A = this chain, B = another copy of it.
């Protein structure tokens, strides 16, 4: 199934069939894959056919719906999906929410409705994140983003890219620098592709160029997504985010983290407790079929890092946003009540 040029759907589900845009093929090919087994869905998450914390959560929820529709064992499906990727908490959040329905013996249509609700709520959360976040983006701003926290990482709009899209839609003349984001180049392959489709000015830069760009006064702020936020506000996100945060901090530029409320893990006191996924060496040693590291040489491939809250200017959620003085109680108090700032 191939869609037309200007629209794309990251995740969709209909009657036991889960359809994913194959993000490993972008930006060369916009190809969709239909999945009819939970094992297929689990492998799609593991191999990053679909990636991005909210999109992984939505995909896992639909995976449970698919299991119910196909008559697969739902408990086993839950367990299999929960073993796909350890860092993004949205995965566990979505699976827990589905469990609260299926474990009570709900009908197929109730289970499918819950997954659709998670999808729809994610769309609405992302829209609101953009709305709340856009006020921090000045007209004429040049914005750095790292990895892809866009429509490809969520149901629609994105998180960081929703902020950028909302600012653009408000008529602000903005420019985006997209860190290419080694090793899997989500910035070069995905963020650039999304923003180009929306007519937003985007330039791809090597991850290492940031201090140079800051020295030339070319970066006003950065907006990134997150895979998990600890109770104290420490942020897990794609490897390299901590370097971005540190460099922006030293240059007095704000860093905004945009993520749905489901990304906040109140059970973990701080970022040191967030599990960090290490992925296979081949992501570093090869690019496509080209070998770029000598055979036998070790590589380091942690997929995420932790940005301490002291370097985060503001966390933007669908319930509002809060600043650097984030603490567990404050987060609960401010965001739990839907306070805008």
Contacts and interface: CB of A to CB of B under 8 A. Distances in A.
A101 interface: no
Interface in A160-203: 177, 179-183, 185, 188-189, 192-193, 196, 202-203
A207 interface: yes
Main DSSP-derived SS at the A contact region = mixed
Contacts of A146: 208
Contacts of A293: 27, 180, 188-189, 192, 204
B204 A207 contact: no
A205 interface: yes
Nearest to A201: B298
A182 B180 contact: yes
Looking at A180, A208, A250, A291, the one whose CB has the most chain B CB atoms below 10 A away is: A208
Interface stretch (A221-229, A236-244, A320-328, A331-339): A236-244
B299 A204 contact: yes
A196 B239 contact: no
Given A180-B182, A206-B240, A212 B294 contact: no
Interface in A276-306: 284-285, 287-302, 305-306
Interface string A74-85: 000000000000
Contacts of A213: 300
Contact of A207 (B208, B249, B289, B291): B208
A288 to B, nearest CB: 3
Contact of A27 (B196, B239, B287, B294): B294
A256 to B, nearest CB: 18
Contacts of A240: 206, 208-209
A239 B205 CA distance: 11
Looking at A181, A249, A302, the one whose CB has the most chain B CB atoms below 10 A away is: A302
Contact of A290 (B196, B211, B288, B296): B288
B291 A211 contact: no
A266 interface: no
A289 B246 CA distance: 34
A49 interface: no
Given A192-B297, A206-B239, 15 more contacts: A27-B291, A27-B295, A28-B291, A146-B208, A182-B208, A196-B294, A204-B297, A204-B298, A204-B300, A206-B240, A206-B300, A206-B301, A208-B240, A209-B305, A211-B246
